[in-house]
Amino acid sequence: MRRLFEKDKRGQSLIEFALVLPILLLVLFGITEFGRAILVKNVLHTASREGARLAVVSPVGDSLSVKARVAEVLDAASIDVYQISIMTDAGAKTVEVEVTTDFEVLASGILGIQTIPLKGKTVMRYEG
């Protein structure tokens, strides 16, 4: 008698899963891409710090050697397209190294974002 009043719920979980899956995938891919972006930003900061450190301790402060050191760090992390700018302030005795790149989102079709501009910047005082 009880079975007569119970409704058939066999397809309910499949429909619920179909409704929740796109949101779950969006969150999953968002977390993954956010983690990758943090990794790239960390590499940019490391590269700018390496370049600024080389600029303040070297007696010549050659911008080509600074750019080569920054490029070496970025190439080790497989970051291809980037810009390096070096600015010196003689009055404040500082050097500023800034590295920028466009982070390419792998899940751009799901997240709707193609690239994110990222920047790493370091300012150091000259030693001596």
Contact 99, 119 (CB under 8 A): yes
Query: Looking at 11-15, 36-40, 64-68, 118-122, which range is the least confident one?
Result: 11-15
Name the phi and psi angles at 72, rounded to 5.
-65, -45
Rounded to 10 degrees, what is the CA torsion of 43, 123, 121, 55? -60
* 32-41, 57-66, 84-93, range with greatest mean pLDDT: 32-41
Predicted structure pTM score = 0.80
- Check residue 8 and give its pLDDT: 66
Percent of the chain with pLDDT over 70: 89
In this structure, what token pair is assigned to residue 82? 């980037």
